[in-house]
């Protein structure tokens, strides 16, 4: 029997792999599962993007290794999108790097800067790769609690002074997964000042920047004056364009940080399939109406779920962004116990908050990735449990 590396032993079980296992077992038993667990869009990629992939995939020029920096045309499209969306200027030659999905870049960036024992400031609860990427690089996660009384923003003033001076990277994520919380430009300015005072790299995960409701429009960390001096921002085409399986994202910002991550990637992967890159160009520069349509759809789903559960006596705030609802656990349950009860008694898959970190205890997460009809059915099933 071969012994696995210590770094793998230090990793917590990957949350969504366990959810997939439970869900698969339930389906094999023939149960009618309503899956509110993993955030994977249930509507298809827009057809004009699919058609561009088909066209590009037929060209033999795209069957070869991709360049490690990605197509210049894609990087230019990303820079133009950023200018239109956030009024931020990016140099496509040095300040933009395509990724095999933003998850890949987030997990790999600690390899570029973290030595054994270095500390990384990580929000908690959080998207799991912030922690796993840190651990795989030999780093030590320092958890920044995201608490309801602070609007699920880290309290930077409570970070230990010595830890702040030792830390190399701080991960942020707004709009936030799993809490659905949003951040103001004032918070980003405060975070930038903190990073500059302590020589910390900010890695802001903005994967949900285009998914918002009630007239709210998320801002970019890079909109803050001086932000490119201290950090980078990760984006994904997965949620915005329903391209989760295509694996295309990008990181942009500080050119030296981008260059270091590029060095890591050039030693690990061979770039994004060029046909997917051409599809990404069309996604970013083509018709964008479907984004508004998706947001209208998710807002309706949010209202069905939240209003329905609040009608049963639950106390849930409506998120202004993301397609997640962060739900306080009723008295008498842990997050794991409620998740297990909903699966066993109502055939509903949810995600326990503890899976996102210790400060996620007391909550479960539901994803708005099923139809309004199925969400109404989920509420009805939960209502029957109350009787």
Domain-located, residue 105: yes
322 and 347 housed in the same domain? yes
Domain contains 1: no
| Confidence check: pLDDT of 10 > 70 | yes
Q: In the sheet that 119-124 helps form, which strands lie side by side, from edge to edge?
A: 96-99, 249-253, 231-236, 201-205, 169-173, 119-124, 140-145
* pLDDT at 387 exceeding the cut of 80: no
The verdict on 65 and 114 lying in the same domain is yes
* pLDDT tens, position by position, 48-102: 999 999 999 999 999 999 888 999 999 999 999 999 999 999 999 999 999 999 9
| Other C-beta atoms lying within 10 Å of the C-beta of residue 202 | 26
Residues 184 and 308 in one domain: no
Regarding whether 123 and 237 lie in a shared domain, the answer is: yes
256 and 303 belong to one structural domain: no
Lowest mean pLDDT among 62-66, 124-128, 132-136, 168-172: 62-66
Work out the percent of the chain whose per-residue pLDDT is above 90. 87
Residue 81 structural domain:
47-285
The reply to whether 37 falls in a domain is yes
Give the residue from 285, 310, 336 where a domain finishes.
285
Any domain includes 71: yes
Q: What is the mean pLDDT of the chain?
A: 95
**pLDDT > 70: percent of the chain:** 98
Do 104 and 249 contact (CB within 8 A), yes or no?
Answer: yes
Regarding whether 161 and 248 lie in a shared domain, the answer is yes
Average pLDDT estimate for 157-161: 95
- Whichever domain contains 201, its CATH number is 3.40.640.10
By the 8 A CB rule, do 368 and 350 touch? no
Q: Is residue 330 part of a domain?
A: yes
Q: Which residues of 121-144 are buried (b: 16+ CB within 10 A; e: fewer)?
A: bbbbbbbbbbbbbbbbbbbbbbbb
Tokens standing for 120?
């990384």
- In the chain, how many domains are there? 2
The pTM of this model reads 0.96
**Pair (323, 196) in one structural domain:** no
| Co-location of 77 and 122 in the same domain | yes
Is the same domain home to 66 and 171?
yes
Counted residue by residue, the chain has a size of: 387
For position 13, which CATH number holds?
3.90.1150.10
150 and 276 part of one domain? yes
pLDDT in tens, 268-325: 999 999 999 999 999 999 999 999 999 999 999 999 999 999 999 999 999 999 999 9
Residues 275 and 133 both lie in one domain? yes
Q: Inform me whether the pLDDT recorded for 21 exceeds 80.
A: no
Domain boundary among 269, 285, 301: 285
- Is there a domain that residue 40 lies in? yes
Q: Are residues 184 and 298 in the same domain?
A: no
Give me 236's structure tokens.
Answer: 């994904």
- The residue out of 265, 285, 305 marking a domain boundary is 285
Provide mean pLDDT across the span 174-202.
98
- In this prediction, residue 288 carries a pLDDT of 95
User: Residue 161 CB: number of other CB atoms within 10 A?
Assistant: 8
């Amino acid at each position: 029997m071969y012994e696995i590396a210590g770094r793998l032993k230090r990793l917590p079980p990957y949350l969504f792999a366990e959810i997939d296992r439970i869900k698969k077992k339930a389906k094999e038993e023939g149960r009618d599962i309503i899956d509110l667990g993993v955030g994977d869009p249930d509507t298809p990629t827009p057809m004009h993007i699919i058609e561009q992939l088909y066209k590009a995939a037929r060209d033999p020029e795209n069957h070869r290794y991709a360049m490690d920096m990605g197509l210049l045309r894609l990087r230019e499209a990303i820079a133009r999108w950023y200018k239109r969306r956030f009024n931020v200027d990016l140099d496509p030659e040095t300040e933009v790097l395509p990724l095999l999905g933003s998850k890949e870049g987030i997990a790999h960036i600690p390899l570029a800067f973290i030595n054994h024992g270095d500390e990384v400031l990580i929000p908690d609860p959080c998207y799991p790769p912030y922690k796993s990427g840190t651990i795989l690089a030999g780093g030590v996660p320092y958890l920044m609690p995201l608490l309801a009384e602070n609007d699920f923003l880290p309290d930077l003033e409570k970070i230990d002074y010595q830890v702040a001076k030792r830390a190399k990277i701080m991960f942020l994520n707004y709009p936030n997964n799993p809490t659905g919380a949003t951040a103001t430009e004032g918070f980003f300015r405060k975070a930038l000042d903190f990073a500059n005072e302590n020589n910390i790299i900010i890695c802001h995960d903005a994967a949900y920047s285009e998914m918002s409701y009630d007239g709210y429009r998320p801002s970019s960390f890079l909109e803050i004056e001086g932000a490119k001096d201290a950090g980078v921002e990760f984006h994904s085409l997965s949620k915005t364009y329903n391209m989760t399986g295509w694996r295309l994202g990008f990181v942009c910002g500080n050119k030296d940080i981008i260059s270091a991550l590029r060095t890591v990637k050039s030693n690990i992967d061979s770039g994004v399939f060029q046909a997917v890159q051409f599809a990404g160009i069309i996604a970013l520069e083509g018709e964008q109406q479907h984004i508004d349509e998706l947001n209208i759809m998710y807002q309706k789903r949010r209202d069905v779920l939240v209003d329905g559960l609040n009608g049963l006596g639950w106390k849930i705030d409506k998120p202004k962004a993301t397609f997640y609802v962060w739900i306080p656990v009723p008295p008498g349950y842990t997050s794991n116990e409620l998740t297990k009860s909903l699966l066993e008694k109502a055939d509903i898959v949810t995600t326990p908050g503890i899976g996102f970190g210790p400060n996620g205890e007391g909550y479960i997460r539901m994803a708005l990735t099923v139809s309004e009809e199925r969400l109404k059915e989920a509420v009805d099933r939960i209502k029957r449990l109350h009787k």
